[in-house]
Structure 1
Amino acid sequence: MRKILVLLASLFILTHVNGQEQKQICIGTEQTYLILQVAPNGRLYQAYLGDKLVNQQDLRHLSSYVKGGTDGSVSTRGWEVYPGSGAEDYFEPALAITHTDGNPSTILRYISSDQKAVNGGTETTIRLKDDQYPVEVTLHYVAYAQENVIKTWSEIKHMEKKPVNLWRYASTMLYFSHANYYLTEFSSDWAKEAQMSSQQLQFGKKVLETKLGSRAAMHTHPFFELGLDQPAQEAQGRVMLGTVGWTGNFQFTFEVDNVGVLRVIPAINPYASEYELNPNEVFTTPEFIFTLSNTGTGEASRNFHDWARKYQLKDGQGDRLTLLNNWENTHFTFNEELLGELMKEAKHLGVDMFLLDDGWFGNKHPRNNDRAGLGDWEVMRSKLPGGIPALVRSAKEAGVKFGIWIEPEMVNPKSELFEKHPDWAITLPNRETYYYRNQLVLDLSNPKVQDFVFGVVDRILTENSEVAFFKWDCNSPITNIYSPYLKNKQGKLYIDHVRGIYNVLNRVKAKYPNVPMMLCSGGGARCDYEALKYYTEFWCSDNTDPVERLFIQWGFSQVFPAKAMCAHVTSWNKNTSVKFRTDVASMCKLGFDLGLKELRADELAYCQEAVANWKRLKPAILDGSQYRLVSPYDGNHMAVMYTISDRNKAVLFSYDIHPRYGEKLLPVKLQGLDPAKNYRVKEINLMPNAKSGLKANEQTYSGDYLMKVGLNTFTTNQTFSRVIELTAE
């Protein structure tokens, strides 16, 4: 790795000194180069984005791709890296500022740049400045050489005498020149998250965005796939996978210009967010993270998974806790005695932790439904007279850890908190208040509210240091869009609210760095890599129907590793077997949310063995390389496998969804194995006394055979699953 960093630094220095017209900056990984070049007019252009160039002397030829004129003009081939508004560029800008004198234009010119080694890669910093106004922009790029991932963001500031209005503020702008472009987007709603669809991009703009403020990704997820020359495919073709780290309103703009060049512009959504930027205040945009692959989305996803576990996901290389949650079993109706019994069930099942969900708090306004109590984070004495300490003791006696649900960013109007501090909620003056799910969003732009939200967590952990886990929910988008705290500066609300959330999370992480937390938002409505710096995992969907979960988990796996994706076995879709439900959940971070008393003896025995198998195979499932083999979108089956780095162990998950009568069944061709090694095939997660119907069971095959010929794992059974362990001999 050190040699790579030295090479990149040397490359930067060599190209930097070859004359003003040849000044180049290389942002590179082991597979990808992003080459930026300073033109004679002093402006910075993208000269190249593509496969790594082997011969460094070829970089000098890239100057022909930059057409910035000495008079400051830009031709149709001038791909300016961070174009401002109001000048000669006719397309969507990266930056738009209205200066204090009313001038709406900004033209940035190169000042300086440097590179330094950071954890896992190289950071390039580029400073730009407007030569007519005291406006500066600093561009940041971090290239992770081994993982082939680049993340980038910008910092904007000015030294004008009065505040300026900032109304476009992209993280970056990237250009592509290909024959065709195909966008895969991930739409969503409650219980149908991460639904994939593709379309060809034509001339003009395609915009993916959200205006929800909080629970922001409820309808649109903050990631995409871009197929270059052809639609994105799993195992072949040129693709880009990109995501923005922002737990609020985001916007992706895909603009095909008059000569067929595509601009990709990731940003905070400027909707209702004309930001008043004070002198010397630094406006930092979200990180945009992307990777390129020549062999389809599978490789791109593995790049992301490896990068996330090493550098972005909280405790990405640590362990994860299996759990039993009480929500689907009890909802709001429980007491200390019942919870104590459920903790014993958790131990009997073999999971690590019992998780208490909603309904444990509120006294004046008891939380016995979702219409009251939210915001009053005191244990409900009528339900739990011994408080959290008694629950922690019961969990310890049962032999499991104890976790708890919170939703600290929200408030019910029927609560003591709202009665005392109605100005802490985001509400419109002079309008009838609209309530989403009987609640309002607390105004996290207000420092007092930030203190309160941090205090919810801090108080629980100060008084109960053995609480081992938080399920952090966020069930409402922002409605009634007005901040009593910001008053006449409402353009800051959406942005400062999210910054306030990060302020709280930074304080929690600083004081309690080792407490794992689940990011839950009515399902997968918060699923971004900035939030996941603070959370060990996220809840993909409230929909736990295993058939629907196959599609949801397939979609989220494009961007997130299995280690970050929670999947629970529940009673949704009882037409499917407990085995099928468990096998579907086992391809992610496994949990349960049902009462063991509703299980037959053989089903319970199966679940116990499945938990033990999952724990044994965590090195493959949570930390191995994922290969998506058969898509549920392509037919009536699905298959996914995980392989550990030394390729001595792999796990294959095979699912029959709704096969047609008499349909032709094709073998599943495996990936990621060592062709020279021999692997013993063994079906696991079988019901008690059941025998494997897999013909290959307990047989040995070479990796070469398994990848070229494959295994006949599919059947014509409805909602049928197989889990197959492969061990090198």
Structure 2
Amino acid sequence: MTIQYNEQHRIFAIQTNQTSYIFGVNGKGRLQHLYWGSSLDPEDCAPLLRTWSHSSFDMEIERILEEYSFWGDLVYTEPSLKVSWHDGVRDLSMKVAEHRIVEQDGQEKLVITLQDEAYPLETHLSYTVIPELDLIVRSAKIVNTGSHDVILENTQSASWSIPYLPDYRLTHVTGKWSGEFQLRNTILSEGKKVLESRRGFTDSHANPWFAVDNGYATEDSGDVWFGALAWSGNWKITAEKTAFNQVKVTGGINDFDSEWTLGAGESFETPTFVGGYTAGGFGEMSRHLHQYQYDYVIPSQEPRKVLYNSWEATYFDVNAQDQMALAERAARLGVELFVVDDGWFGERNHDRAGLGDWFVNREKFPNGLEELIQKVHNLGMGFGIWVEPESVNPDSDLYRQHPDWVYHFPTRGRTELRNQLLLNITKPEVKSYILQFMTELLSKHDIAFIKWDMNRTITQPGMKDHPLQRQKEVWIRHAHTLYEIWAELRERFPHVAFETCAGGGSRIDLGILRYADQTWPSDNTDAFDRLSIQEGFSYVYAPKLMTCWVTEAISGMNKRTTSLQYRFHSAMMGTLGIGSNLNEWSDELIDESAGYVRQYKEIRPLVQYGHQYRLDTLKKQGVAAVQYVNKEASETVVFAFLHSQRLGEPLPRLRLRGLQPDKMYAIEQLPGAWTGKAMMNIGIELPLRGDLDSLMYRIREQE
């Protein structure tokens, strides 16, 4: 069994293939964390289950290690749960009441129930074990068993206690529009390091994931503790170090401007928070998270298609004839999915009007969408289309008819971002409108792909017609409603793939990935910039989920010039897309690009389903290299990128990973053969030269 309970010592042990997670019930009836690391016998942790104090000002220090921290009495660290009672009392005194071990969907699950000593409130802590990936999926369910409302002021998903380390290094990602998923790390000193979003969605400025090590872990080795939160609204992860050198990471729904009224007999479930430990460094951490997404999170196991998106070719100047001309050239490239972006609907001739009016613009498409869709299908491609259902332009029929459908405060002006306001999708009539027009769109047309965009943060979060004392529920209700809409659409149209996009990479998390087949990590398609964006993305999320475009030789973002080969190699490391204006491409460029598309289709199983290794041995030489290996280690593909050569020096050899040491391998582009251990220890030659050079090696086991 992966979950054990020692009755004598009152200790719970969660055992995965390589790790142990151990906690117990102390003498005061509280859950106290004891150990998280390499596999261990639970009985060895029994002496750790004790209470201790430092002074009258620092009593019950063991509460810092509480499995789920209830605010009240002597708790001064970041709480997991904080409530207000109907009589003005504002603390909790929760004790363990019972536990049960169940099997759910083939996985073992531990549920521990805690009850308040004086009030009718229960907390059910859930631990689901993914033993083969050394992961634990945690969440909490709060149940009001009484007759009065309870105000939930702070409801977190889990707290993760990190074992003693001489130093604690926190690794996370930060960014902004056009610069998402930039890796950062910092040594934690006493106090709190808070990662969060208050913008209404996951946000590009931070992503709900963390990793902690002792400052010396690398890609290939070292102890790493990590976690990722499955929530697409406002979130918060707090890494707190105490004066006693204890670190706990607490995460869940952001408590800023947020409350939830829990009525009599009602319950509230937090988002899940998956956590893990590995001794194999950041690379193994990523591979475990990637496999978890493939096996337990994403809705489809189908390979993602090579797509073309017409946005950069036409922007808002969309019409049937130009789109059909683009489709013909896209088909010559070998594209499998043709996607029409913004501008096909309403009076959408620019970003100042039409958003919200989801009917086909008959001036642009006099015969409707069917003419284009039929053309795309005759060319052997699927058809996809862009929508932004959560937003509305003030200059639209929808807004003129329903100005009260947007979030707003009645005494304030309505702030526009990108000339847009945000619909209050929690209103039943708004939710119904979105489901209705999306159902009509997908029922009347043979559409295989939806790009769901969201280009606006939540501001002035007032909910008309919602009770005044419950206005702070807006942040949670928006995310819940979004999930309900996506779930309904996926059930009605299981053949349609969905891409999540929000102002670049602002809505990417394990919550939306239960419904989304792929993500848009950034509006920045500069092939060099994308290397760092894609690297940070890969720390948490699987390559298959990352849409990468090939765009023009001169980047619109930086005016940097890169070769076609470099641009394709950069974009082939995820789900390949093309976003250039193909009408301006020569026949020679089309034919050359078609060769790269054929290459990608051949290596797609490796990229989209293989194990990814970030090869960092040559970073100091300005080389970025990524390797993908199939599960049998019989085939691999390597991408390498040189930023700039200096002083005429050749590059050292690149050491590979993940191969079978005693098997012989051949590189398609080079003569000869090498053993796996030679490739992993001596390395392979990299004939990269000059500035912004790249290569792709296909390597196969010899028969």
CA distance change for structure 1 residues 631 and 542 in 2, over 3 Å: closer, same or farther? farther
Match of 2:261 in 1: 276
Match of 2:366 in 1: 385
Q: How many residues align?
A: 690
CA distance change for structure 1 residues 597 and 388 in 2, over 3 Å: closer, same or farther? closer
One of 658, 670, 674 as aligned partner of 1:701: 674
Instruction: Confirm or deny: 8 A CA contact 2:653 2:685 kept in the other structure.
Output: yes
State the secondary structure of the residue aligned to 2:532.
helix
Percent of aligned pairs with the same amino acid: 32
Counterparts of residues 592-603 of structure 1 (less than 5 Å): 592-603=578-589
CA distance in 2, matches of 1:485, 1:252: 32
Instruction: Confirm or deny: 8 A CA contact 2:333 2:590 kept in the other structure.
Output: yes
TM superposition shift of 1:714: 5.0
One of 204, 207, 221 as aligned partner of 2:191: 204
One of 505, 528, 537 as aligned partner of 1:524: 505
State the secondary structure of the residue aligned to 1:338.
helix
One of 476, 491, 499 as aligned partner of 2:480: 499
Match of 2:155 in 1: 169
Instruction: Confirm or deny: 8 A CA contact 1:67 1:74 kept in the other structure.
Output: no
One of 107, 113, 118 as aligned partner of 1:132: 118
Instruction: Confirm or deny: 8 A CA contact 1:343 1:354 kept in the other structure.
Output: yes
CA offsets per residue over residues 509-544 of structure 1, 9 Å max, x none? 221223111111121101101101101000010000
State the secondary structure of the residue aligned to 1:117.
strand
Instruction: Confirm or deny: 8 A CA contact 1:188 1:221 kept in the other structure.
Output: no
CA offsets per residue over residues 324-376 of structure 1, 9 Å max, x none? 110011111121111111111121110101100000000xxx10111111111
Question: Which is further off, 61-70 or 576-585?
Answer: 61-70
Instruction: Confirm or deny: 8 A CA contact 2:219 2:616 kept in the other structure.
Output: no
CA distance change for structure 1 residues 631 and 170 in 2, over 3 Å: closer, same or farther? farther
CA offsets per residue over residues 372-415 of structure 1, 9 Å max, x none? 11111000111011222222211112221100000011111111
CA distance in 1, matches of 2:609, 2:106: 18
- The reply to whether residue 262 of structure 1 matches residue 235 of structure 2 is no
TM superposition shift of 1:280: 1.9
- The reply to whether residue 8 of structure 1 matches residue 30 of structure 2 is no
One of 61, 70, 76 as aligned partner of 1:84: 70
TM superposition shift of 1:648: 0.9
CA offsets per residue over residues 392-443 of structure 1, 9 Å max, x none? 2111122211000000111111111111111111112111221111101111
CA distance change for structure 1 residues 120 and 574 in 2, over 3 Å: closer, same or farther? farther
CA distance in 2, matches of 1:434, 1:231: 47
Give the TM-score taking structure 2 as reference length.
0.95
State the secondary structure of the residue aligned to 1:370.
coil
TM superposition shift of 1:138: 0.7
Q: Match for 1:482: what amino acid?
A: G
Q: Match for 1:438: what amino acid?
A: N
Match of 2:461 in 1: 481
Match of 1:335 in 2: 319
State the secondary structure of the residue aligned to 1:393.
helix
Q: Match for 2:194: what amino acid?
A: V
Match of 2:490 in 1: 509
Instruction: Confirm or deny: 8 A CA contact 2:651 2:687 kept in the other structure.
Output: yes
Match of 1:60 in 2: 43
CA distance change for structure 1 residues 107 and 337 in 2, over 3 Å: closer, same or farther? same
TM superposition shift of 1:601: 3.9
State the secondary structure of the residue aligned to 1:170.
strand
Match of 1:307 in 2: 292
Match of 1:540 in 2: 521
CA distance change for structure 1 residues 123 and 326 in 2, over 3 Å: closer, same or farther? same
Match of 1:247 in 2: 232
Q: Match for 1:141: what amino acid?
A: Y
CA distance in 1, matches of 2:316, 2:13: 57
Match of 2:405 in 1: 424
Q: Match for 1:325: what amino acid?
A: N
CA distance in 1, matches of 2:253, 2:593: 44
- The reply to whether residue 680 of structure 1 matches residue 674 of structure 2 is no
Q: Match for 1:478: what amino acid?
A: I
TM superposition shift of 1:682: 1.7
CA distance in 1, matches of 2:423, 2:258: 18
Q: Match for 1:582: what amino acid?
A: F
TM superposition shift of 1:162: 2.4
State the secondary structure of the residue aligned to 1:392.
helix
Q: Match for 1:345: what amino acid?
A: R
TM superposition shift of 1:30: 0.7
Match of 2:173 in 1: 186
CA distance change for structure 1 residues 634 and 254 in 2, over 3 Å: closer, same or farther? farther
TM superposition shift of 1:231: 4.6
CA distance change for structure 1 residues 530 and 155 in 2, over 3 Å: closer, same or farther? same
Instruction: Confirm or deny: 8 A CA contact 1:156 1:284 kept in the other structure.
Output: yes
CA distance in 1, matches of 2:671, 2:394: 61
Instruction: Confirm or deny: 8 A CA contact 2:95 2:115 kept in the other structure.
Output: yes
Question: Which is further off, 38-47 or 593-602?
Answer: 593-602
TM superposition shift of 1:663: 4.4
Match of 1:691 in 2: none
Instruction: Confirm or deny: 8 A CA contact 2:618 2:652 kept in the other structure.
Output: no
- The reply to whether residue 34 of structure 1 matches residue 24 of structure 2 is no
Deviation above 4 Å: which 4+ runs of structure 1? 631-635
CA offsets per residue over residues 48-97 of structure 1, 9 Å max, x none? 211122xxxx4223122222489xx9632342111211211221211101
Instruction: Confirm or deny: 8 A CA contact 1:643 1:649 kept in the other structure.
Output: yes
CA distance change for structure 1 residues 728 and 258 in 2, over 3 Å: closer, same or farther? same
Q: Match for 2:204: what amino acid?
A: M
State the secondary structure of the residue aligned to 2:352.
coil
CA distance in 1, matches of 2:619, 2:155: 36
CA distance in 1, matches of 2:489, 2:251: 28
Instruction: Confirm or deny: 8 A CA contact 2:328 2:379 kept in the other structure.
Output: yes
Counterparts of residues 118-129 of structure 1 (less than 5 Å): 118-119=104-105, 121-129=107-115
Counterparts of residues 353-432 of structure 1 (less than 5 Å): 353-362=337-346, 366-432=347-413
Instruction: Confirm or deny: 8 A CA contact 2:60 2:74 kept in the other structure.
Output: no
State the secondary structure of the residue aligned to 2:364.
coil
TM superposition shift of 1:258: 2.0
Match of 1:689 in 2: none
Instruction: Confirm or deny: 8 A CA contact 2:97 2:114 kept in the other structure.
Output: yes
Q: Match for 1:720: what amino acid?
A: D
What are the ranges of 5 or more consecutive residues in structure 1 without an aligned counterpart? 1-6, 684-696
State the secondary structure of the residue aligned to 1:347.
helix
CA offsets per residue over residues 642-696 of structure 1, 9 Å max, x none? 000111110000111233333462211000011111111023xxxxxxxxxxxxx
State the secondary structure of the residue aligned to 1:580.
helix
CA distance change for structure 1 residues 558 and 325 in 2, over 3 Å: closer, same or farther? same
CA distance in 1, matches of 2:120, 2:14: 27
Q: Match for 2:82: what amino acid?
A: A
- The reply to whether residue 288 of structure 1 matches residue 273 of structure 2 is yes
Match of 1:451 in 2: 432
CA distance in 1, matches of 2:354, 2:570: 35
Match of 1:686 in 2: none
CA distance in 1, matches of 2:588, 2:663: 36
CA distance in 1, matches of 2:467, 2:376: 47
Match of 2:222 in 1: 237
CA distance in 2, matches of 1:633, 1:76: 43
TM superposition shift of 1:124: 1.4
Instruction: Confirm or deny: 8 A CA contact 1:184 1:232 kept in the other structure.
Output: no
- The reply to whether residue 550 of structure 1 matches residue 548 of structure 2 is no
CA distance in 2, matches of 1:118, 1:698: 52
